[in-house]
Structure 1
Amino acid sequence: MTTFIEEVITNLQEKGLDLSELKFILPSKRAGTFLKHQLSRSTKQTMFAPEILSIEDFVESISGLKTVSNTELLFQFYNTYITLNTTENPDSFEVFSKWAQILLQDFNEIDRYLIPQQKIFEYLAAIQETNHWSVAEDKTDFIINYLAFWNKLHEYYTHFTTHLLTNNLGYQGLVYRQANVNVKTYVEQHKVQHVFLGFNALNTAEESIIQYILEETDALIYWDIDKTFYENPIHDAGLFTRQHAKNWKYFNTHPFNWITENYTKEKSINIIGVPKNVGQAKYIGGILKDLKKQNSTLENTAVVLGNEDLLLPVLNSIPDTVNALNVTMGFPLKSIPLASLFESLFHLHKNKPQSFYYKDVISILSHQFVRPLFVLEGDDFATNLIERIQTNNIVFISYKHLVDLCEPFKDVLSLLFDSWGNNATKALKQSRDYIYVLKEHLSINKDEHILSLEYTYRFHELFNELDRLNTTYNFFQSISALHQVYKELLSSETLDFQGEPLQGLQIMGMLESRVLDFETVIISSVNEGVLPAGKSNNSFIPLDVKLENGLPTFKEKDAVYTYHFYRLLQRAKNVYIIYNTEVDALKGGEKSRFLTQLELEKIHKPKYIMAAPVVNLVEQKLKTVPKTSLVVDRLKEIAKYGFSPSSLTNYVRNPIDFYYQKVLKIQEYDEVEETVAANTLGTVVHNTLEDFYKPLIKKQLTEAHLTEMKSKISSTVLHHFKLTYNDGDISTGKNLISFEIAKRYVSNFINSELKEVKAGRIIKIIAIEADFERVKINIPELDFPVTIGGKVDRVDEYDGTTRIIDYKTGKVEQSQVEIIDWDELTTDYKKYSKPFQILCYAYMMLSDGKLKFPLEAGIISFKNLNGGFLKFTKKVKTGPKATKITAIDKETIQLFEEQLKVLVLDIFNTENDFEEKDVSH
């Protein structure tokens, strides 16, 4: 394959020109590097390298101006705005920057295309007045200010550009306009022969400058366009070159070099549909692995990223066998882990909070560039601090509270959490100080943290620039304004890769491929909205005005992408075009129109491949844990201490959960309760009733007792919320509702008791939260003690009948405490878990000798208080109907004991493993 650059050099040599005396102008610096390399390979004798410039550098040298960064321009322009604005309340810098960036882009376009400034600004103002409010008799202040803005655009432009020119500064468009003014002087002073090569779309200023140099000197220009595109009047890849060939006077007397015929040569084109961006990256890795086997160096191979966000996934997907590559695009600073830390800090401090949301605090404390700073003598204080926040249910936490919890690290906490006070100067100081502290920590083990130190240095530079802008202009009146400029700087900064630019695999963006040719090309993200980018109108200038004045529209921008895409295919022999099969309305939709165009041209026969990840069917197997001797020993310990009714029902529900919680002692992760959990609400209600009723043990309930309880409901519930919910806030939102619900539950229950007492019922309290431990279960088959223990919420006498009561804050119906089939008692959790627990309590109290037959046991449901005391009921079939027996007698306890023994024996049966049950249904 002969590249375009080789063809140009050969032609120049055939003309007998001294290459070292020429001045080459190319579309990009990257192309200049390849030109210099090709010059060294194409000459047989030593020579001085010629001057090689990108078009931007060349135009800047003609203009005599220095190009200013977009961020600096924004600050300079705000000076203009403040100077010329006559309203009482001009926009703050934060508000100004949102519309000013669009206006600066329009200034740039107007200058690059040499549009008469006054004419277009007056035209825009007239359009606004005509379209909107010129006919309104009484214009409001809003309308007056709106029209004043449009009428002032030319004044803004004039003042701003005059200021820049006075200081020999300029944005790209102004540089181009000034270069167009100075080109005659430049040509008179520079007698060197110019060679322009590889251009396609040119703005009016570039066209004017290049044409003047071509007409007034012996300069040469080389185009790279294929006959297929040039001669097809509707093919966008040749749109600009056809216009140049037709409109430039120079080509009336000079040949149009060159129109080549490379595209129609035989090519292998594979079009691959791959789901998702990461899928594309992985597929590229697979292609490179195969290519590496054929070409060990991967010379003349390029990966061109349509979507440059794919850089990191692609780098991670490159096979280990690829040992030489060059990344021409920098790694975005916004993708570096340190960027996420400062984004979190801006989010934390932006609204000047008095206290911080715990998730924001935990996110910062858990960050990889924060956590190491909280290690002292091997102890991880960050983890300890996070656990204390979670344990104490601290939903909102202040800086002072953080320091109280972690005093040894007050200095670091100060840099992270001490309020910025909506003061940009303080925010910058704390951020820069934190970077310095981080740098000092990383420098201790410098060799291990080389990359992290590089990250830190780049952010040190970024915050220094922000500090310079703040000191010079003092426009940051809020953290939001600082954050906006921070994001602007961050988005434009990159971390450059080091590598050999001319060896091995090349990874680049679409624009960096200009002028370059490769035998094997892999192009990613060839989707609508990416290649081409599609319609976007980030401009104050309407489409019709752009068309009228010759400004580029989306059609011209699409034509630029079309040219670059087809140019990559011109000389290539092997082409892999990859697109995302998953439609994303925000970042690219269906496959690109370029792919459909390739089919319709019928010049090549692309091979379509639909790629998908190989997903092995993994059968979801329920877990099984054998009962080893160690497990049995642990079960014996539990049996000796005492099985609780809840642990036994947990075994019935799912043996594997019983194994995790009781055998392995694995508890659920203790997260912060932002809103009061159901178990917390239940605990508060239980503890409140315990406080009320415990002093009344062995006493008969009276109206006075219950009336006194009612007066203490609010304070007692609040007391137990504070104990149970720790530092959690119950003053607002859902937590306040939960607090009120708890009070309502207690109040309703006491009212129901009061109603019973007033009706003449005699209620005597026997026990409250009665704690029974190690009630022995007689199981002859086992040669070790097995006990059962637990707490009973309440035992009382109701008109002489003993009742065992279990409180439930959830809703329970009478049908849920009835039993008919005793064999299902230890197997059907959903149906019989509540009767099992009730009978456990009865069994414990009767075995302990505290109570005697007969008695009743049941549930009081706070969500179903109208149901009253829901008694355990035994259904006995006597003919066609079942008889309901609520009294718990000796027979009932015997039936229960039999089932309890069956359950315990199953727990200790080593032939029956702990088998997970599918509880999803």
Structure 2
Amino acid sequence: MMKFLDRLAHQILAKKIAAKDLFIILPSERAKRYLQNALFQMNHGPLVSPQILTIDQWISDLTKKTIQHPTRTLLSLYNIYKSLFQEQALSFEDYLTWGPILLSDFDDVDRYLVDHQQLYQNLASIKALESWQIDEEAYSASQKKFMLFWELIPKLHGGLLKHLKETNSCTKAQAYRELATNPSHYFKPAQYFIFAGFNALSLAEQQLIKYLINAKQAEYIQDSDRYYFDNPFHEAGNFQRKNSTFFGLGAPDDLPDALRTATYHVKEIECAQHIGQVKVLATELYQNTHTDWSEVLVLLADESLVHAAIRNIPKTVGQANITLGLPLEQTPIRTWIDLCFQLQENHQKFRTKALYYKDFQRFCHHAFITIAFNQKELHALAKVEKHTVQFNRVFQRVDQLQLPNKLQELLELLNADWQADWQQGLTQLRKINSFLLLHIPEENDFERTALLSFETCCRQFELLFDDAFPEMALSSFKKLFYQHWTRAHLAYIGSPTEGLQITGLLETRLLDFEHIYVLGMNEGKLPPTNPIQSIIPMDLRSAFGLPSNRDKQGLFAQHFYRLLHHARHLTFTYTTTSEVLGSHEKSRYLLQLEMEWRAANPNVNWQTFYYQIPTDEQNQEVSAIPKNTAIQERLLAYLKNGVSASALRKFANCPLDFYYRYVVEFGEEEEVEEDLAASTFGSLIHACLEELFTPFAQKDKNGKRIEPAPGPVTAKDISQMLNTYPAILRKHFLKYFDQNATLFERGKNLLSFEMALDLTNQHLRKELDFVQQLHEPLFIEQLEARFELTQMVQIEQSQIPILFVGFIDRIDRIGQNGYRVIDYKSGKVKDEDVKMSAKHDAFTNLTKPKHVMQLCLYTLFFEAQYGQLPAEARIESLINVSEDFALSYDKNTDLSMIPKLFEDGMQALVAQLMDTEIPFSHNPEAKYCQFCT
């Protein structure tokens, strides 16, 4: 069986008409390329080709007027709308929500040759009835405005037609109407036209083709099959039957009957995961032994799979070509332009030209960046990003980032302020585009093609900047610009006729392939379920012959069924997962094929499969990690190199979380804190207190005595601190927010700052009351002091050394010998967090209360340094300031039992840690595991 375009080429070559007078009109650009190739092959070499045009190109060539770009028409209509509604007119941004829909309706009215006035009178009457009430004087202002809008629609359409006539221009739909109503003015007697492979035709197209057929200057060739053409109830043949009847042709005698007679091999594959469909495709293509890949089509019913499909094409395929007609917004262009506009929006939102950290992170990880720069440049960028997180840079000046020259240049282009000059903004976008095209390698043809298509959109949009361009806010400009460029589709990537073809459904019109893989055969994807957007009610549309949602379904049905004409091997995949939006049911087209087509054709070999990505390729939850020899060696090294009380308590709470955080060293993921976290909030208060009390410290952080020795802290000193602490606290907030005070002068951070002021005030007043009640002076011994202590723990026959490390926030002394060890906590503290009991063993006492292990260790640090135990070890909460939390054993704050209790408890803990019979496993009672749940 010959392919449709081969049959068409044969018919064209048989015509005895001069090439200059023969016109072949096709529905798609891609079909033109395939037909030209077929003519070359049929002729066994070059030939003088007839003129081959898409129907839109043909109409554009025939009309004597300039066809106006839809975006310019949208702007023209807004100006007409403003002149009619005057001060009652909505803003341009509001207009953009309904203006494109109204223009689409205007286009339908023209393409289907509808009487404007009659339609709009009916529409106004319907809307009047919807708002009708007995007392017309009781209409509200909004009701009156609503009814006025419907009454003015014919004036809007009329005003637009008048404006276009004055500028000798028209919309594409008006060009169709003009040619259909006055065809005799446009054609020469010697011209002959072949209209091939059309499906849904508007009334204007039908009238025009019928005129030429009746004039013996045209013929209409269907691309159809008797299976659905002869069935009056089959939606795939709906438009074909209507066209044949309208043209007075009846059923063609040479219509193929392949769907009922040919042999087909069909695989239906249900995929448990969305991405599993791409895995199936890769496997099928790898196992495909066919050498002629130009006979193989990958049809993406779900176009979101395009990037994954391209990345997973096996090398054995050789040449693979993306002729998808993929919407430009489904390429990396979308997220890139989103970033460009987000930068401008954040300039306005935060009233700063500095670079917001979230925008910088998006920049760092965008696909264009990873392919436009070399490894050395990307490494430098990663270092700056790490520095941003490490020092919590919420905002940074671009000129201070110290990036390599190319990166610095691009970031400066991106971050430049458009200053509400949208022509300047578009110029900036084009400069960025040029930069990327200059630096993205030639082999990245997908990304380069996307950028070139976007550049074409920008050039078209740039032509709109004239006197008619209305004033608008950034949000309006963004909406208008997005409506303009998101309509665009990718041009060809690779050869449109050679090698494996990856396409969308509309790109397959008139094309035939022997092997077809269809990915995404889910209801809602094929056929798509997005309804027609219109201000005209559906029943009124139907009454005037305008297309309905049902017509749209029939359109896609014919596109799909015609693919089966020449195919002999078909593979359909669909997903049943809920991990992506949309229906999880297989397409009704699949159900129709399985139930109806198989019954009509006994030669259909149908196989059903189920595919799930193998478990070794999926994320697996690890429940336990055995302590093999390598892990034991890492544990010994970890204990020897320095451990903290919090780390060992993490092991007691959840061994598996301890393993991930400290043995494997996943650590904690750092991120920029835009709103102050509780820990950071407490740290800033802590830093303020440290600065206030440092002048009174007897030793520096390294333990060296200060000479001359500072005096004690007096009530007068603390009273002075109450006057100076606000400025000091503000200084630390400024340092944290990179000297940008606006970041804590409003919103959550302002509340945090005011709360910090209040809590610091409370803490200092508590200190003041404490000093005033003392009978002996209070000395500050040391602040933020680092300590180390090595202890040996006996495990079976081995002595295991453990190096404990930690920082004691404050050591002070009352009188000559009343030493206190104090640790500040930014969170709320409870009594049970510092209480031990004779009812529990040493291990439980050490590990269960939240702060006991830390205070015990600090007590031992102090003993090793000072040769005696402190009089008290305590927690000072920066939240519940007024309460006291001293380490105690059955309410006794004497610390003499601490060394023995710590030794026994640590013996039990390390024994569990090193026990090879007990794997690292998750404790189901643990609430705050970061890695194991």
Same fold, judged at TM 0.5 (above): yes
SS at match of 1:130: helix
Please name the residue that 2:423 is paired with. Answer: 425
Residues 726-875 of structure 1 aligned to structure 2 (within 5 Å)? 727=739, 729-750=743-764, 762=775, 764-769=777-782, 771=785, 773=787, 790-791=807-808, 793-797=810-814, 803-819=820-836, 825=842, 830-831=847-848, 834-849=851-866, 851=868, 855-863=871-879, 868-873=884-889
Preserved CA contact (<8 Å) 2:788 2:804: yes
What is the 5 A alignment of 1:193-592?
193-217=192-216, 219-248=218-247, 250-251=248-249, 256-265=252-261, 266-275=263-272, 277-290=274-287, 292-293=288-289, 295-330=290-325, 332-337=327-332, 339-350=334-345, 352-353=348-349, 354-355=351-352, 357-364=356-363, 367=366, 382-383=381-382, 385-387=384-386, 389-396=388-395, 401-403=397-399, 414-436=412-434, 442=439, 458-471=453-466, 473-475=468-470, 477-534=472-529, 536-582=531-577, 587-588=582-583, 590-592=585-587
- CA distance in 1 between partners of 2:774 and 2:181 (Å): 107
Partner Cα separation in structure 2 for residue 666 and residue 228 of structure 1: 62
Shift of 1:115: 0.6
- The letter for the 1-side match of 2:778 is I
One-letter identity of the residue aligned with 1:181: T
The alignment partner of 1:268 has SS state of strand
CA distance in 2, matches of 1:4, 1:373: 43
Note the C-alpha offset of 1:118.
1.9
AA in 1 matched with 2:345: K
Look up the equivalent residue of 2:625 and give its one-letter code: L
SS of the counterpart of 2:299?
strand
Q: What 5-or-longer segments of structure 2 have no aligned partner?
A: 699-709, 927-933
Query: Separation in 2 of the partners of 1:325 and 1:862?
Result: 64
Structure 1 residue 455, shift from structure 2 partner = 5.8
Asked whether the equivalents of residues 332 and 447 of structure 2 are also in contact (C-alpha less than 8 Å), the reply is no
Change in Cα spacing, 1:454 to 1:173, as seen in structure 2 (3 Å) is: closer
SS in 2 for 1:271: strand
Q: Which amino acid aligns with 2:414?
A: L
CA distance 1:834–1:588, change in 2 (3 Å)? closer
- In 2, are the aligned partners of 1:374 and 1:382 still within 8 Å (CA)? no
1:78, CA displacement in angstroms?
A: 4.0
Cα distance, 1:554 vs structure 2: 0.7
- In structure 1, C-alpha distance between the alignment counterparts of 2:899 and 2:858, rounded to whole Å: 11
Q: Report if the CA contact (8 A) 2:111-2:173 is conserved.
A: yes
616-625 or 596-605: bigger deviation:
616-625
SS in 1 for 2:137: coil
1:106 has 2:105 as partner: yes
Greater Cα offset, 725-734 or 527-536: 725-734
**For residues 333-359 of structure 1, what are the alpha-carbon distances to aligned partners after superposition, in whole Å with 9 as ceiling and x for unaligned?**
434545533321212213634125321
Q: Quote the offset at 1:687 in angstroms.
A: 4.2
SS state at 1:209 partner = helix
Cα distance in 1 for partners of 2:607, 2:118 equals: 53
| C-alpha separation in 2, matches of 1:150 and 1:785 | 83
2:131 partner SS: helix
Q: CA deviation at 1:177?
A: 0.8
Q: Which residue of 1 aligns with 2:902?
A: 896
TM-score scaled by length of structure 2: 0.82
Residues 715-760 of structure 1, C-alpha deviations (whole Å, 9 max, x = no match): 45444544566547433333333334434444444555666678x6
Q: Using a 3 Å threshold, how does the CA distance of structure 1 residues 98 and 821 change in structure 2: closer, same or farther?
A: same
Distance 2:92 2:264 in 1: 55
Equivalent residue for 2:183?
Answer: 183
CA RMSD of aligned residues (A): 4.6
Q: Post-superposition shift, 1:608?
A: 2.8
Q: Are 1:860 and 1:869, in contact at CA under 8 Å, matched by a contact in 2?
A: yes
Q: Whole-Å Cα distance in 1 between the matches of residues 387 and 13 of structure 2?
A: 77
> Identity, % of aligned pairs?
26
Q: How many residues end up aligned between the 2 structures?
A: 889
Give the whole-Å Cα distance in 1 for the aligned partners of 2:801 and 2:283: 63
Aligned partners of 1:262 and 1:661: how far apart in 2?
64
Q: 1:870 deviation in Å?
A: 3.1
Q: Which residue of 1 aligns with 2:625?
A: 622
Name the amino acid aligned to 2:30.
R
Counterpart amino acid of residue 284 in structure 1: L
Q: CA deviation at 1:831?
A: 0.9
CA contact (8 A) 1:796 1:804 kept: no
Q: CA deviation at 1:282?
A: 2.9
How far apart are the structure 2 equivalents of 1:197 and 1:899? 88
Distance 1:737 1:607, change over 3 A: same
Partner Cα distance (2:911, 2:569) in 1: 71
AA paired with 1:845?
F
Rg bigger for which structure?
Answer: 1
Is the CA contact 2:542–2:548 (under 8 Å) kept in the aligned structure 1?
yes
Deviation digits for residues 449-494 of structure 1 (CA, Å, limit 9, x no counterpart):
8877666555544433333322464335333333233323332334
Contact 2:771 2:778 in 1 (8 A): no
* Range with bigger deviation, 709-718 or 487-496: 709-718
**1:542 CA displacement:** 0.9
- SS of 1:610's partner is strand
Whole-Å separation in 1 of the counterparts to 2:513 and 2:370: 46
2:911 & 2:12 partners in 1: Cα distance?
Answer: 97
897-906 or 58-67, which deviates more: 897-906
**Does the C-alpha gap of structure 1 residues 731 and 88 become closer, same or farther in structure 2, counting only changes over 3 Å?**
closer
Q: 1:803 to 1:369 in 2, by over 3 A?
A: same
Distance of aligned partners of 1:87 and 1:140 in 2 relative to their CA distance in 1, 3 Å threshold = farther
Q: Distance in 2 between matches of 1:371 and 1:515?
A: 39
Q: Secondary structure at the residue paired with 1:220?
A: strand
Does the 8 A contact of 1:680 with 1:724 survive in 2?
no
Tell me, in whole angstroms, the C-alpha distance in 2 between the residues paired with 1:116 and 1:257. 37
Instruction: Work out the CA distance in 2 between the residues paired with 1:627 and 1:577.
Output: 48
Tell me if structure 2 keeps the 8 A contact 1:3–1:571: yes
- List per-residue Cα deviations over 1:12-62 (Å, max 9, x = no partner): 889x86696754333333334333444444458986433333333334444
Residues 825 and 832, structure 1, Cα contact 8 Å, conserved in 2: no
SS in 2 for 1:421: coil
Superposed, which structure 2 residues align to 1:25-36 within 5 Å? 25-36=25-36
In 2: Cα distance, 1:678 partner to 1:560 partner: 59
Task: State TM-score, norm by structure 1.
Answer: 0.83
The residue type equivalent to 2:105 in the other structure is D
